[in-house]
Each structure stands twice: as C-alpha cells, then as structure tokens.
Structure 1
Amino acid sequence: MHLQQVIPLIAFILATYSVIGNDVIQTLGTFLTSNHKKKWWVLWFYAGSILTIVLVYGWITHQGDVSYGRLNMIPLPENMPYWYIIPPIVLIILTRFGLPVSTTFMILSVFSSQAVIEKMILKSVLGYALAFVFAFAIYLLIAKRFESKESISRSEKDKAKKGWLVAQWLSTGLLWSQWLVQDFANLYVYLPRQLTLIELVTSLIIILVLMAHLFRSRGGKIQEIVHSKSNTQHIRSATFIDLTYAIVLFLFTELSSVPMSTTWVFIGILAGREIAISYRLNKNEIGNSRKQIFRDLYKVNIGLIVSILLAYAVGMLNVMEV
C-alpha cells in the first residue's frame, strides 16, 4: 500500500483515539461517574449500540456521508501529506494534561478555509453563551429541590422506585446521539466524504475498540473535570446535565450544518449550572465557582489558540510543498 493511502487511515485512527479521549468523556462523563458500580462492558455496549445506529443511519440517509453534511464545506485533499497527522497527535498530548480541548477546532481547522474557521468559532461562542444562560435558568428553578444535600440523600435511597436510573440512561442516550451527529465530522474528516460499505464497517470496528479502552479506564484524565463539579456522581444530577446538554446540541444541529465545538457547549452548561447552584444553595461559594469557570475557559482557549496556529502551520507547509 502506498504511503499516501496509509496516511488517511493512520490519521483516522489517531483522530478517533484523541477525540474519544477528550470529547467523548465530556459527553459520557456524568454517565460513567454516576454508574461507576456497573461493569464497564455494559456501559460500553449501550453507548456502542447507539453509536452504531447513528452511524449507519447517517450513512444510509446521506448517501454514504456519515458526517450528516457537516463536511460539505470542508473538502478532502487529493494528496494528504504526513503533517496532517500532527493535529490528532497534539490533541492526544493535550488530553494527557487534562485539558478540555475542542477537537472541532483542533482537527477541522487544518482542513478549513479562514471563512469556515470564523463560522465555527462564532457558532461555538454562541453555543457557550446559550448553554450558560439555559443551564443557569434551569438550575435556578430546580437547584433547591434537586441539588441540595437533603434532596440528593432522599433521592439516593429511593432512586429505583422513582425511575431516576432509567431516566438517566435515556437522557444519556439522547445526548450521545446528538453529540455523534455533531462530532462524527471530527473523526471522518480524514476519510472519503462518501464511504463504501467496507470503509463503514472497518471504521466502526476501530471506533468501538477504542471506546472499549476508554470505558475500561473509566474516562482517564479529562474525567477529573466532571468529578470537580457539584453532585455529578449522583444519577439525578447527571440526568439533568445530560438532558440540558442534549437540548442545546439539538437546537444547534437544527440551526445549521456548520461544525461547532461541543466542548464549548459542555463547559458553558457546567459553568451556568455551578453559578446557579452556588447562588441558590451557598452564596459563599460563588467566588470559587467563578474561578472554576475562568479556569475552564482558560483551558479551552489554549486549545483554540493551538488549533489556529496549527491551521496556519499546515497551510504554510502546503504552500511550500506546491
């Protein structure tokens, strides 16, 4: 096999590994945390089944395009030089340091024109703002009833009777499906825009194997961001986080097919939630919540800056090759 044919496959595997290690845990993090007593393969089978359905459905309904049209403005280079492998490698390194980097910016920017990058940034910033406001408003209403220590204690005792376990699994399934519609583009940007059946099956197997590794390790370094937020280990709290996240992603899925950073939406939801909970239950903690919010924003902006620098570096390398 020629080197030019191998590079897209290697890049896809690296991108899949890096995206799963960074972005996926931000989607399934509360699910893993609140179900830590469940066997890892049960959680993997549930998430893997939904992923398979969403992937195959997109392939059928979009004539082989599993990105759901999000790569329409991002063409695949005819010849892919080796330096296109650099972004997923950098993403893996940043993930090792626990940085919630936007895989959308990190991976897609090197393929995109300046106009597309600007649209992605604008949509992502809007996503953060909407997620923050939406989560803040929701948790202002429900914090006292559902997030206080007393209510959490009561809910843990009778969660089976009230069906919170079922509700959390359903909300996670909804969130997971919406995230996949948004972020399949980050995985498949290295592959042809219309996949053959063999390419579809091969890529699916690769994704499921790498997901199994993630679930066995219970999330890795990025999971610490989820653990640091209030009550995320409780099923009821995790249900509300996942449902809020799913609703915001659905709204932006319907808004346009421009790729966006789901990481920014995730950070926005956690930020709005933390401020609302602190305001309603413990005003003395608002200062600490603000520090956490700015710390998370600082981390995702590092990823944005690195992504843009990588995009320009790859662009310069492409010009030099020509």
Structure 2
Amino acid sequence: MNSQYIFMLIGFLLASYSIVANDAIQTLGTFLSSNSKRPWWVLWLFACSVLLAVFFYGWSVNGGDVAYGRLEKFPLPENFSWIYVVPPLVLLFLTNWGIPVSTTFLILTVFAPGNLTSMLTKSLFGYVLAFITGILIYKFVTKGLENKFLNTPYKEPPIQWVALQWVSTAFLWSQWLIQDLANIFAYLPRNLDASMLFFSMFVMLLLHAVIFYRNGGAIQHLVTSKTNTQDIRSATIVDFIYGLILLFFKEWSKMPMSTTWVFIGLLAGREVAIVHNLQNREIKDAGKIIFSDALKAFVGLGVSIIIAFGLPVLEQMINK
C-alpha cells in the first residue's frame, strides 16, 4: 500500500467523523433534541436507513458516484499528499470546541482553490435566503402555531406530529446528504466499486452510531440554544423549511455550498421573528446569538482560506 493511498484512507476516515459530528448533527440536531427521551439506537437506525437509501440510489444511478456529481470540478489529486489530511484534522478540533464551521469551505477548497469564489457566492446567497425565509415564515405564517407551542411545552404532542417530524427529518436528511456527501467522498475515487462502497457505508454507519450515542456532541448546543427547538412540533417545521431550501439549491446547481450557513441563517431569521412576536426578550439578545453564530462561521471561513492557500506553499517549502 503506497503512501498516497494511505493518505486517502486517513483523510476519508477523518472527514467522515468530523463532518458527521459537525454538519450532520446540525441537520439532525432538532430531531435529536426533540426525541431525547427515545433510545439513541432507534434514532440511529432511522437516520441510517435514509443514509443507506441515498447511498445506494446515488451509486446505482450515477455510475458509482455517491456524491451526485458535486465533485465534477474537484478532481482527485494526482499527488495525494499529507496536505489533504490536515483540513479534516483541523475540523475535528474545531468541532470538539463546538464551532459550527463550514465543512464545504474547509475540506473542498484545498482540492480546488479556484472554486472558492463560486462556493462562497452560493453560500452567502443561501444564508440570506434562509434568513429572510425564517423571518417571513415565523413572523407571518407560523406565528400562532409557535405561540401555541411555547404555551404548551409539556403537552404530549399528537401522534400525527410525531409522524410528521420523522417524515420531515427523512426529507431534510436526504437533501443534506446529497449536498454534503461530496465533502466526505472527495477523498475517494469519484466512481466507487462495490467493495469500496460497502467499506465506506460501514465506516459511516459506525461513526453515526458514535455520534448518536453521544447525543450529538458539542455542536448540538447550537440547536438547543435556540428558542423551543426541543419541541417536536417546532422541530418539524424547522426541518421541513431547511429541507426545502436545500432542495432548491440542489436543483439550482451542482456547485457545493455551505449547508452550515443555510442552517445558521434559518435559525437566525426564526429567532428574530419569534423574539419580535413575543416581545419577551430584547431584540439585542437575539442579535448577540446571531452575531456569535455568524462570527464562528466566518472564523471557519478564514481558517479554510488559510489552510487551502497556505498548505501548498508549506509543502513546497518542505520539499525544497
């Protein structure tokens, strides 16, 4: 086994764990928080059944490409060196500190720095669209529902809400996977054979089990810090809106984008609308939370840029 293949496998393993712990938990965060009383393995089985369906479908209809064509402009490097292992390693540390960085910027930029502008433009548009959508929907469409949810926090939700949440979670989870599997499979051949497919699936299932057993880890605080996200009814609405936004961007283009920025934008718009509706908190308090989340995202972007453009220079200096 040559060194390039070893770096590919190490990069894949690190990316799988760190991206699941960062991005996937942001996507499944409301599902975990609102179903915290259920056994972790039940939630894991549900999420992994969707994962396997997306894997098999993408692999079968795209000629072995489980990234759904989102790596077309990110070719596998001819010289797969240690510099490609550094981004998921950095992501692992940032995730353990609870910083919601964009894995798209951090991982993919080092593979093709020239695509950074396109990814950044699409991601900024995603944040703005999600922020505005969150304000409009929670201000004018679901205002009465959210007030009802907040006034009945301990009421057992009807069975239809439980069913709706699991359906909305499956929809959102599938859309996220189609968007962000590229960040993980950038480390493997663009068209997987059956053996590599089953190996990668085993790795993903195992890592998801670890994350679900830990109930989401440090990133889960990003979700639970927002108003009423533990309520299964509120969580259902958040997941459905988030999934629809990701579906829109999936159909728009195959250029990868930061789903983290979309997620943060939606929660920010939702928080502003709820605070304005209830008037039980100062708007500046919500502003502090929004600013904090946005600052963390931009810190992650800065780290991504430094890594993407600095590592090749460092490698050249070392090899001289």
Q: Which interval holds the TM-score relative to the shorter structure?
A: over 0.9
Confirm or deny that 1:36 pairs with 2:36: yes
**Alpha-carbon contact 1:143-1:277 (below 8 Å) kept:** no
**Alpha-carbon contact 2:26-2:220 (below 8 Å) kept:** yes
Q: How does 1:113-124 map to 2 (within 5 A)?
A: 113-114=113-114, 116-124=115-123
Whole-angstrom distance in 1 between the partners of 2:224 and 2:307: 31
Confirm or deny that 1:177 pairs with 2:171: no
Query: TM-score by structure 1 length?
Result: 0.96
Q: Kindly state the Cα deviation for residue 155 of structure 1 after the two structures are TM-superposed.
A: 7.2
- Matched residue, 2:101: 101
Query: TM-score by structure 2 length?
Result: 0.96
Task: Identify which of 165, 177, 187 aligns with 1:168.
Answer: 165
Confirm or deny that 1:202 pairs with 2:209: no
Tell me the secondary structure at the aligned position of residue 300 of structure 1.
Answer: helix
Whole-angstrom distance in 1 between the partners of 2:106 and 2:210: 22
- Matched residue, 1:216: 213
**Alpha-carbon contact 1:144-1:281 (below 8 Å) kept:** no
Task: Identify which of 299, 302, 306 aligns with 2:296.
Answer: 299
Whole-angstrom distance in 1 between the partners of 2:203 and 2:272: 39
Confirm or deny that 1:129 pairs with 2:128: yes
Q: How does 1:1-322 map to 2 (within 5 A)?
A: 1-114=1-114, 116-148=115-147, 150-154=148-152, 156-161=154-159, 163-282=160-279, 284-317=281-314, 319-320=316-317, 321=319
Whole-angstrom distance in 1 between the partners of 2:281 and 2:39: 38
Unaligned runs of 5+ in 1: none
Q: Aligned Cα RMSD in Å?
A: 1.4
Q: Kindly state the Cα deviation for residue 143 of structure 1 after the two structures are TM-superposed.
A: 4.5
Q: Kindly state the Cα deviation for residue 125 of structure 1 after the two structures are TM-superposed.
A: 0.2
Q: Kindly state the Cα deviation for residue 315 of structure 1 after the two structures are TM-superposed.
A: 2.7
Q: Kindly state the Cα deviation for residue 2 of structure 1 after the two structures are TM-superposed.
A: 1.9
Whole-angstrom distance in 1 between the partners of 2:88 and 2:128: 27
Q: Which amino acid aligns with 1:308?
A: I
Q: Give CA deviations for 1:110-148 in whole Å, capped at 9, x if unaligned.
A: 00132x110000000000000001111100124532222
Identity %: 49
Whole-angstrom distance in 2 between the partners of 1:228 and 1:283: 16
Q: Give CA deviations for 1:146-197 in whole Å, capped at 9, x if unaligned.
A: 222x544447535225x11111111000000000000000000010001001
Tell me the secondary structure at the aligned position of residue 85 of structure 2.
Answer: helix
Whole-angstrom distance in 1 between the partners of 2:149 and 2:6: 55
Q: Kindly state the Cα deviation for residue 286 of structure 1 after the two structures are TM-superposed.
A: 1.1
Aligned length: 319
Whole-angstrom distance in 2 between the partners of 1:119 and 1:142: 33
Whole-angstrom distance in 2 between the partners of 1:113 and 1:225: 29
Q: Give CA deviations for 1:221-269 in whole Å, capped at 9, x if unaligned.
A: 1111111000000000100110110010000000000000000000000
Tell me the secondary structure at the aligned position of residue 250 of structure 1.
Answer: helix
**Alpha-carbon contact 1:33-1:232 (below 8 Å) kept:** yes
Identify which range, 284-293 or 26-35, moves more after superposition.
284-293
Whole-angstrom distance in 2 between the partners of 1:191 and 1:273: 38
4+ aligned runs moved over 6 Å, structure 1: none
Whole-angstrom distance in 1 between the partners of 2:177 and 2:53: 10
